[in-house]
Structure 1
Amino acid sequence: MWTSSRHTLCTLSVFMSLAVIFYTYNVEIRQKMRSQVRHVATDTITALDNRTFIIAPYYEPRLGQSVRVIAILHVSVEELYCIFHCSSSEKVYIRAEIDLHSDRFGFPYGTADLLCAEPSGCNYTYMSFSSTNSTNTSQDLLFEVRNRPPPPISSNFTVCLSTLYGNYNNVLQVIQSIEMYKILGSSRITVYNTNCSQDVNKVLRHYVDEGILDMVPWPIDRHLQTSKNWMHYKGLPTEIGYFGQTAALNDCLYRNMYKSKFVLLLDIDEILLPVKDRDWSSMMESLQKTHPNTSVFRFGSHVFPTAIRNSGLDMWSHVPGVNILTHLLRRPNKNFTAPKMIVNPRDVFQTSIHHTLKYRRNAMILGQDTTMLFHCKHLKNVSDLIADDRIMRYNVSLVPNVDKVIHRLFPPPP
C-alpha cells in the first residue's frame, strides 16, 4: 500500500513539474511573439511626432529601386530614417532624402517626399520611420509599401478631388459632378473627406457601393491647425494651408499612378468639358496625336456664378445644393486663371494645385478652343457675364442619371 501511494505521489510530482515547465515555456513563447508583433498603420495620416506626419510609402521604380514616402513635415525637420523590415527579421536603417515641396505658401508645415533607396538583399513588405538611427528606438507601427509591384492599368481616367471640409453640404452639385465625370469617361473617382454633412456622406457612400468612388478619410484637423486660406500671413495662427490639399493630391496621384492611364486633378465643383470632342477619351486621343511628348495638360477655369439663374431646368428643389443646369452665364476669362490639370501620372513626381512641380517630358496649356473648365461657384462680381450653355450638350444623359440617384437617396415629398 505504501509503495503504491509513493509511486502515485512521484507520478503526480513529475506531471506537475512537466506542467509547470510547459506552462512557463508557453508563457515565454507568447511573450516573445507579443514582443515581435508589429501593428500595421491603417490611418491616412499618422503622426510620427508633432513635426512629422506620414501618409503613405510608395514604390518608386522610376528613380532606381527606391521608396517615396508622402508626408507632411514642419520646416525644421532635417533628419529622418526609413526602416526597412526584411523577411529575415533584419531591420535596415536608410537615411531619407527630404524633399519639402516648394509650394508651402508660407505655412510652417507642408507636403514633403521622403526618398529612400532600397537596401540590397532585403526582401521587405513593410517599413517604419524614425527621427534617429538608433537601433534601440522602439518602432511598432509598420507601413505597407504600396505599388510594389506596380499593378496593371485598369482605368482610363481617374478624377482626384480635393478635400471636402466645413461640413460640406452641396449635395446636388456633388451628384451632378460625379454623374458628369461618368458621362465624360471616368471609371474611378477618389475624394479626400475631412468633414461633410450626413447628406453628402450618404451620396458618397452610394457611389462607393456602386464601385466608382474611393472615399479616403482625411483627418488633417486632428493633427494640425488648418486654414481655409491658401497663403499664410503674419499673425495667422494656422499651421497648414487649405486643409493639406497638396498632400492629398500627391497621395491621390501615387495611389492611382499605375491603376489609371490619366489622372485629373479637380475640385468637386469643377468639370472639364471638351470643346471639340464629346468625351475625355476622344479629346486625349486627339491631343496625344498632336502632342505626343506631353505629359501634363493644363486648362483655365471659367467661373459660372451661382448668384444668377438663367435656365428653365430648375428641378430637384428639395435637395440642398447648387443646380449647375440653372447657371449658364460665365465670367469672361481674360487671363489664364486657376488652371487645373489632366496628367499622365507615371510622368509626374510632384504636383501642386494649379501646376506640376516635377515631371518628365513636356507640359502645355490648352486653349479655350480645346477645353473649358466649368466651375460653378459663388462669386461676388457678376457683371459683364457671357452666355455659355455648353454644359447643356449633356443634359439628355445627365438629367435622368441625376434623377435616378436623387429618387433613390432623396425621394421627393408626396
Structure 2
Amino acid sequence: MYSNESTKKSKHSGSSKKRSKKNTWGSRERTSMSFLIVIAFFAIFGIIILTEVLMIDDRNSVQVRHVNVNNRFSESVPDYEDVKEDYADDSSIFIRENRFAASAISSLFKKRKLDPQDKLMSGIPVVPDNDPNSLSWGQMLPSKIESNLPPYPPNIKAKDGHWQVVNGTRFKFFVFSAYYDRRDGRMLRIIGATKTRSPEKVWCRMWYPLDGNNTKFRSISVMARVKVIRENWNLKYSACFILCPLRLSYLDVPYSVSVVSKLRMPPGNILLLRNTDSDQDFTNRSYADIPNKIAVCVKPLHFNYDQAYYMLEFLELNNLLGVTHFTFYNHTIGPKANCILQHYMEGKIPQTFLVNSLLRPNSGDKNSTGDLTSHNDNLTTIRSPKITVEILPWNLKMKSQKEIRTEGLFSSLNDCLYRNMYRYSHVALVDLDEFIIPRHNDTISDLLDWLSKRVNNKNTGAYSFQNAFFYLQFANDESIFDKRIPNSQLRATLVTQKKTRRRQKLHPQKQRSKYICKPEAVIEAGNHFVWEFRPSMGSLNVPSNSAILHHYRVCEFGGSDCIKSPSVEDKTAHKYSSRLVERVGSVYEYLKDTCKLPNLPLTPTKAPPTRSKSLRIGKLGKNVVNTTTNNLEKNDVKIKKLSFS
C-alpha cells in the first residue's frame, strides 16, 4: 500500500517537474522573443534616424524653437534661431590642381602672370578646403590675379529682373536679380535657383564703371556663399540666395555683379544692382522715412492664366483695402489678363467713380478708401488711389513640380520682398484667389494702425492671418438673385459677393495662412509664414475676430465632399459691394472692346421652391387627417433645419 502511494507520489512529482520545465522553457522563449522584438524595433528606428541624418544637408539645417508669449495677440519671436553662421561661414576655397591648372596654382600664389595657354585652358573650380593658401568666403582675389581675368563682356548689358545662366556648372544654375543689403553689414544678395543639396561654389565678380557712360569697367572678385532657401519640398532644385559680402570699408557699392563658377571663363550673366543710392526710384531713406503704403506680391502667373473678371476684382478690391502697388511675374498669361495688366501698368484706367452713398458702408468714415470730390443727393464721386503695376518676365528653365516647386515661386516671393524694400512700409504675399479682409476696419492700413495701439509692435516684423475656405461649390448668396440691386448682373459675377458661406473651422496659424510683413524686418520670406527675421523681430498672429484670409477656391482634393463640413455665413466682404461693383464696372466697360473681354453672364435665377401636393384622404376619419398633417409639418420643419445647418 505504501509502495503504491509512494509510486503515485513519485509519478505526480515527476509530472509536475516536467510541467515546470515546460513552463520555464516557454517563459524563456517568450522573453527571448520579446527581447528580439525590442532589438528589431530599435534597429529599425536607428536606421530611420541615420537615414534622415545622412539626407539632411548640415549647412541648411536649422534649430526649431517654440516660444509662447502670453499676450492676447499671440506675438511670437522668430521660429528659428538666428542663423548667423549662414552669413559668417569661414569655409574656404582653393585652386584645384589638374593637368591644365598646374601653372595656374603657382601663378596665383607666387604673384606672376599666367601664360596665354594657361589663361585659355585653366578653369578655376571652387571647392571647400582648409588649405593654408586658400581664400575664405568674402575675401577679395588679389589685384594681380584680378587683372588677368576676362574683362566686362561688351555684348551683354546689365539687366534686372531677367533669368540669366551661370556658365560652367555641372547642374542648372540661374540668377534673376541682385540687391544691396545694407542691414547688419554690407552685402550683395542675389536671387537665384540651383541644386538643392550641396550647391556648387561660385564667385561674385563686382563691376565698377571707369567712366560716366558705363562702357568701361574694372572688377573685384570675392568668393560667394550659396544659401538654399528652406522651403524647397526636397526637389532637385531650389530657390537660393547668393551672398557676397563687402567686408572692407573702402569698397564702394558696385554698379553690377556677375556670378561665375570659374574665374577664367567669361561671365554669362550681368545683374544690375538694386537698392543702391543711385537707384532712380530709391533714396537713402531711414526706416522712419519709408512711405506708409502697402504693396502686394503675387507668385508667377502660369497655365496661361486668363481670368479677366477675377483679375479686375483682385486689383480693385485690394485697392479698396489700401493696396497701391502690385508686382506680378509672367510665366504664361492669357491675352485678356495681360491686356488688363498692361493698361494698369500704363495708368490707362478710370480713377473717378460714382457711388451710391446710401449703399456705401462707412460713407462718412474718415477711414474709407478714396477721396470725396463731389456729392449730389445720394450719388458720391470718389477718386480712387492710383494703382501701379510691375510685370516681370519669368522664364525659368526648370520643370515646375518635377525639378522645382511651382515655377520657382520662392525665388519670386523673395525677389518681390527685396524689390519693394524701403519703397513700401508693408508688403502682402497673397494669391489671386485670396483677400485679407478686416472685420471692423475699412482698410488694411486702418487695421494695422488699430493693432499697433493695442499691442507693442516694436518687434513685429509680420502680421499673420488665419485662412478660411470659401468653397466655390457652396451655394450662392441670396442677394445676387435680386435684380432690383444696381448692377446686379456684374455683382453676381464677383466671387467675393456671390460666395458668402465659408468653412466654419479656420486653419491654424502657419497652415494655409498668409501674412503682411515689413520688408526691412525680413531676411527670408516663405509662402505661408516668414522663415527668417532680423534679430529681435517676430510675427504677430492677428485674432480671427479682427481679420481673416478669405480664400475662394474649389475643394482641395477634388469632388464636392468639402461642402459637407460645418459652415457659416460670412458677409464681411459685402461692406465693399457698392464701391467694388462701381469700380469693376467702370474699368470693365472701359476695357471691354480694347481687351476683348467676354460679355457678363446673365444674372442667375433662383430655383423655384418645391411644393408638396395636397393629400385628400377620402373616407378616413378626421383624426387620421390631423395626424398626417402634423407629421408633414414636423417633417417640413426638419427639412428647413437641415437646409440652414
Using the size of structure 1 for normalisation, the TM-score is 0.83
Which residue of structure 2 lines up, in the alignment, with residue 118 of structure 1?
246
1:265 corresponds to:
429
Residue equivalent to 2:413: 249
Against the structure 1 CA distance between its residues 42 and 365, is the aligned structure 2 distance closer, same or farther, given a 3 Å change threshold?
closer
Q: Residue 617 of structure 2 aligns with which residue?
A: none
Structure 1 residues 285 and 67, CA gap change in structure 2 (3 angstroms): same
- What is the CA-CA distance between 1:364 and the residue it aligns to? 2.0
Structure 1 position 372 matched with structure 2 position 548: yes
Q: Quote the Cα distance in structure 1 between the aligned partners of 2:406 and 2:478.
A: 33
In structure 2, distance between residues paired with 1:38 and 1:74:
25
- The one of 154, 157, 162 equivalent to 2:299 is 162
Contact 2:437 2:547 in 1 (8 A): yes
Q: 3-state SS of the aligned residue for 2:293?
A: strand
Are residue 226 (structure 1) and residue 407 (structure 2) matched? no
Map of 1:357 onto structure 2: 531
Partner residue of 1:28?
none
Which residue identity is paired with 1:39?
K
Asked if the contact 1:170/1:321 (under 8 Å) is kept, the reply is no
Q: Which amino acid aligns with 2:201?
A: E
Residue pair 2:160, 2:176 contacting (<8 A) in 1 also? no
Could you list the runs of 5+ residues in structure 1 that have no partner in the other structure?
1-32, 228-237
Aligned to 2:219, which of 80, 83, 91? 91
CA 316–178 in structure 1, closer or farther in 2 if over 3 Å, else same: farther
Q: Distance in 2 between matches of 1:267 and 1:36?
A: 40
Q: Is the 8 A contact 2:469 2:552 kept in 1?
A: yes
Higher strand share: 1
1:189 aligns to 2:326 (yes or no): yes
Counterparts of 1:309 and 1:197, CA distance in 2:
27
User: Which residue in the other structure is 2:392 paired with?
Assistant: 216
Q: 1:171 to 1:142 in 2, by over 3 A?
A: same
- Residue 188 of structure 1 aligns to a residue whose secondary structure is strand
CA distance in 2, matches of 1:143, 1:130: 12
Q: CA deviation at 1:365?
A: 1.3
CA distance in 1, matches of 2:302, 2:545: 34
User: Are 2:203 and 1:81 aligned?
Assistant: yes
Q: Counterpart of 2:178 in 1: which secondary structure?
A: strand
2:516: which partner in 1? 342
Provide, for residues 58-96 of structure 1, a one-character-per-residue CA deviation record: whole Å limited to 9, x for no partner: 001013111111111112423011101123543211111
1:128 counterpart residue number: 258
Q: Do residues 72 (structure 1) and 193 (structure 2) align? A: yes
Find the counterpart in structure 2 of residue 172 from structure 1.
309
- Per mean C-alpha deviation after superposition, the further-off stretch among 210-219 and 116-125 is 116-125
What is the Cα-based RMSD across aligned positions, in Å? 2.6
Answer whether contact 2:313 2:494 (CA < 8 A) is retained. no
1:310 aligns with: 477
CA distance in 2, matches of 1:34, 1:359: 36
Question: Quick check: which has more Rg, 1 or 2?
Answer: 2
Question: How far apart in 1 are the matches of 2:404 and 2:269?
Answer: 25
Aligned-partner residue type, residue 364 of structure 1: L
Residue equivalent to 1:41: 159
Q: Does 1:291 find its partner at 2:456? A: yes
- Deviation for aligned residue 1:311: 3.8
Contact persistence 2:507–2:513 (CA under 8 A): no
Separation of aligned partners in 1, 2:521 and 2:506: 30
How far apart, in 1, do the equivalents of 2:156 and 2:247 lie? 20
CA deviation digits over 1:315-344, x for unaligned, max 9?
Answer: 686999863311111112243140000000
C-alpha distance after superposition, 1:135-169 (max 9, x if no partner)? x3212632111000253534510011112111112
Return the offset for 1:173.
1.5
Deviation at 1:213, TM superposition (A): 1.1
Q: Deviations over 1:276-312 (max 9, x none)?
A: 2111111111222313221111111111111231243
Q: 1:320 to 1:215 in 2, by over 3 A?
A: farther
Q: 1:35 to 1:205 in 2, by over 3 A?
A: closer
Distance across 2 between alignment mates of 1:44 and 1:161: 17
- Which amino acid is 2:504 matched to? P
Aligned AA (2:246): E
1:400 to 558, 582, 602: 582
Closer, same or farther: CA 321–96 of 1 in aligned 2, 3 Å = farther
CA distance in 2, matches of 1:86, 1:34: 10
Q: How far apart, CA to CA, are the structure 2 residues paired with 1:319 and 1:164?
A: 25
What is the Cα deviation at residue 99 of structure 1?
1.0
Partners of 1:349 and 1:34 in 2: CA distance: 31
Taking a change above 3 Å as real, the CA distance of residues 261 and 377 of structure 1, as seen in their structure-2 partners, is same
How far apart, CA to CA, are the structure 2 residues paired with 1:254 and 1:319?
A: 37
Separation in 1 of the partners of 2:567 and 2:204?
54
Counterparts of 1:312-327 in structure 2 under 5 Å? 312-313=479-480, 323-327=495-499
Mapped pair 1:101 → 2:223:
no
1:301 equivalent in alignment to 2:475: no
Q: Give distance in 2, aligned partners of 1:252 and 1:198.
A: 24
Aligned length: 369
Task: Give, in whole Å, the separation in 2 of the partners of 1:322 and 1:168.
Answer: 17
Report the counterpart of residue 121 of structure 2 in structure 1. none
**2:495 & 2:421 partners in 1: Cα distance?**
33
Q: Determine if contact 1:47/1:53 at 8 Å carries over to the other structure.
A: yes
Equivalent pair of 1:86/1:122 in contact (CA under 8 Å): no
Letter in 2 for 1:406: Y
Deviation at 1:366, TM superposition (A): 1.2
Alpha-carbon deviation of 1:118?
A: 2.0
**Rounded Cα–Cα distance in structure 1 between residues aligned with 2:203 and 2:152:** 25
Alignment match, 1:201: 338
Q: Is the 8 A contact 1:127 1:142 kept in 2?
A: yes
